[in-house]
Amino acid sequence: MRIPTEPIGSIPRPAALQQALARHSQGTATEAELAQLQAQATAETLATLEKLGSPVLVDGEQSKPSFATYPLAGLTDLSPDGAVIPFADGHTRRLPALTAGPFRYATRAEAYLTAARRHTTLPVKQAVIAPSALSLLYPAAGIDGYPREAFLEDLKNEAEADIRACLDAGAHSVQLDFTEGRLSLKLDPSGSLLGDFIALNNAVLERFTPAERARIGVHTCPGGDHDSTHSADVDYAALLPELFRLKAGNFYVQLASEPDPERVLAVIADHLPADARVFVGVTDPIDPVVETPEQVRDRVLAAARHIPVDRLGTCDDCGFSPFADDTSTSRETAFAKIEARVRGTALAAEVLGA
């Protein structure tokens, strides 16, 4: 018996790349120097994951400015005063705001996937940002000559093209990062904002065939940045029934850091669509302590008491460094946690197979 296991996406950048990113922001490192170091880091990340026995690889987002803003790299019709995302420790992240239309992606995720696949023959997964997150780019005051309805139609077209290009380029799977889902319930406990997000994402997902949607997944977590979260205090029981309305074949659910995982597993079991697989988080990127394979095994076995094994997979709770400047987790720790996940999942499969 085999239980699939996949990374979520980001992995901390090597020190040399972090230093180059800092110098580039100060104007003392060239684009060519930065690109070379990003390419090296991508190749090293893929090689290390392969060595650790990961059956599905990711590029670690070594070349992305962040998991959320990669489509904007190179756009000029932006201002810095967009939506603010507050974290529990007091720090914030701020999205840019769109200043003119029409909205188009300047960078597509397929470019990262194509670069990664040059370095390996193993399956490669590609993370993309959910259209719901990018809907926050549109300013509350509106844009003259470019109504919100026109923006949303452009956004749906661009998001579809982003996903479809990855599928066509041979991605093992495409994962929509939907961290704003849980956050939306903190910003709007009525659930109206979450309902809008679900409807927008489904408007894109419904453009794909059932076979294509079987290769598309959605990731949810309470955020993870500088060892802090933005919505861990939001009850999963309010999110998950709505999350599972999304027309996706796979769901990646942060679970290892939940205070009551058994309760969450019961909610998952009650609402998981009949044709979907759930990948449960078995390692916590924010916790500096590296899980043992035995701890991972036991978490998988606990999940298997609620979820049929043929609909179960494992993942990390979230990415280890979703923003390029986050150095709160070391590269070595991230790889150690990934190895524990891979080995622990295999141990659980042996027990369940017996």
Q: Tokens 């190749």, residue? A: 43
Domain ranges of the chain: 5-353
Phi-psi group of 114: left, alpha or beta (phi > 0 → left; psi -120 to 50 → alpha; rest → beta): alpha
pLDDT (tens digit per residue) in 232-251: 999 999 999 999 999 999 99
C-beta of residue 29 within 8 angstroms of C-beta of residue 339: no
* All residues at 6 or more sequence positions from 92 whose CB lies less than 8 Å from its CB, including other chains: 84, 85, 86
Examine the pLDDT at 326 and tell me if it is beyond 90: no
Q: So what's the pLDDT on residue 188?
A: 96
Examine the pLDDT at 324 and tell me if it is beyond 80: no
Q: So what's the pLDDT on residue 354?
A: 52
pLDDT (tens digit per residue) in 182-197: 999 999 999 999 999 9
Q: So what's the pLDDT on residue 39?
A: 95
Q: So what's the pLDDT on residue 27?
A: 82
pLDDT grade for 24, boundaries at 50, 70 and 90: confident
Q: So what's the pLDDT on residue 327?
A: 83
**Rounded mean pLDDT of 23-27?**
83
Angle between helices 148-168 and 192-205 (to 10 degrees): 50
pLDDT (tens digit per residue) in 92-119: 899 999 999 999 999 999 999 999 999 9
In the predicted model, what is the mean pLDDT of the chain?
95
pLDDT (tens digit per residue) in 70-84: 999 889 999 999 888
Q: So what's the pLDDT on residue 10?
A: 94
Question: Most distant CA pair in the chain: distance in Å?
Answer: 65
Question: What pTM was estimated for this model as a whole?
Answer: 0.95
**Rounded mean pLDDT of 248-265?**
97
Q: Where are the alpha helices (H) located in the chain, listed in sequence order? A: 15-25, 31-51, 109-117, 131-134, 148-168, 180-187, 192-205, 210-213, 236-243, 261-271, 293-304, 331-353
CATH code of the region 5-353: 3.20.20.210
Q: So what's the pLDDT on residue 246?
A: 98
Among 154, 161, 148, CA closest to 196: 148
Q: So what's the pLDDT on residue 1?
A: 64
**Rounded mean pLDDT of 124-141?**
97
Q: So what's the pLDDT on residue 251?
A: 98
Q: So what's the pLDDT on residue 142?
A: 96
